[in-house]
Amino acid sequence: MTLPLHVRRLGLVPYEPTWHAMRDQTLARVGDAATDAPDELWLVEHAPVFTQGQAGKPEHLLQDIGVPVVPIDRGGQITYHGPGQVVIYLLIDLSRRGIKVRELVNKIEQAVIDCLAAYGITADRREGAPGVYVGEAKVAALGLRIRNGCSYHGVSLNVDMDMTPFSAINPCGYAGMAVTQLHDLGVNVSVSDAGEDLLRHLQNQLESSDG
């Protein structure tokens, strides 16, 4: 049986209301609501914002550049979201799909790796540092929260954006970590097309787990 994945294309939206909406929707997935609620992928871009995960430390914000910092409930540390970056949130019932958290992380990373391979870019994982890397540079960040056996938050892929704000943080808590984007890797793709491509690869990965 193939379990449906509902896609929401929300466009450029502010971060905090979007976070509250996916958290509230996940917390409501109990009892009959859990059975009836479809799994969803939310495709968005955000206005400039730093998000500070539960493991985050204030010292990883190196300087105040006027970008708001929002403490949130996902795993991981500090990262940046801004226009020109694809963000996909995964509101997934893991038990219904028969997958574990580590497997979901692997599937998300593999979707990004496959998406970049289609652009002619070789990317890979790093043990103990979730996300996707091209050489030494991080191109996609990943962070999740699991409640009631369901995930929210998700993955961001740098496409064609102002990378300057990354210099104001230790990305994902790593001092001096290089960060890159598709544009700087020679990939001429629009943000909207990159979003659709990554959506397709995520759907392929998640649907392959359906029993």
Q: What pLDDT, on the 0 to 100 scale, is given for residue 2?
A: 60
User: Residues comprising the binding site?
Assistant: 74-81, 141-143, 154-156
Give the H/E segment covering residue 102.
Answer: helix 101-118
Distance between CA 166 and CA 50 in Å, rounded? 9
Q: What pLDDT, on the 0 to 100 scale, is given for residue 208?
A: 63
- Cα 157 to Cα 44, 161, 180: the distances in Å are 11, 10, 10
Q: What pLDDT, on the 0 to 100 scale, is given for residue 33?
A: 55
User: Which has more confidence, 12 or 57?
Assistant: 12
User: For the range 27-35, what are the long-range contacts, defined as Cβ-Cβ under 8 Å and sequence gap of 24 or more?
Assistant: 27/147, 27/148, 29/93, 29/148, 29/150, 30/148, 34/93, 34/96, 34/148, 34/150
Question: Which tens digit of pLDDT belongs to each residue from 5-32?
Answer: 999 999 999 999 999 999 999 999 877 6
Q: What pLDDT, on the 0 to 100 scale, is given for residue 211?
A: 43
Q: What pLDDT, on the 0 to 100 scale, is given for residue 34?
A: 59
- Cα 11 to Cα 46, 86, 107: the distances in Å are 8, 10, 24
In the chain, the percentage of residues whose pLDDT exceeds 70 is 95
The residues near 125 (Cβ < 8 Å, ≥ 6 apart) are: 109, 113, 131, 132, 133
User: Which has more confidence, 209 or 18?
Assistant: 18
User: What does pLDDT average to over the chain?
Assistant: 91
Per domain, the residue ranges of the chain are 5-207
Mean pLDDT, range 92-119, rounded to an integer: 95
**Considering the entire predicted model, what is its pTM?**
0.93
Question: Which tens digit of pLDDT belongs to each residue from 114-163?
Answer: 999 999 999 999 888 889 999 999 999 999 999 989 999 999 999 999 99
pLDDT band at 35 (very low <50, low <70, confident <90, very high): low
Just give the CATH number of 5-207.
3.30.930.10
Active site (annotated) includes residue 172: yes
Q: What pLDDT, on the 0 to 100 scale, is given for residue 59?
A: 85
Q: What pLDDT, on the 0 to 100 scale, is given for residue 81?
A: 97
pLDDT over 90 (residue 77): no
Q: What pLDDT, on the 0 to 100 scale, is given for residue 196?
A: 98
User: Residues comprising the binding site for substrate?
Assistant: 74-81, 141-143, 154-156
Distance between CA 174 and CA 151 in Å, rounded? 25
Distance between CA 43 and CA 146 in Å, rounded? 19
Single out the catalytic residue among 37, 72, 161, 172.
172
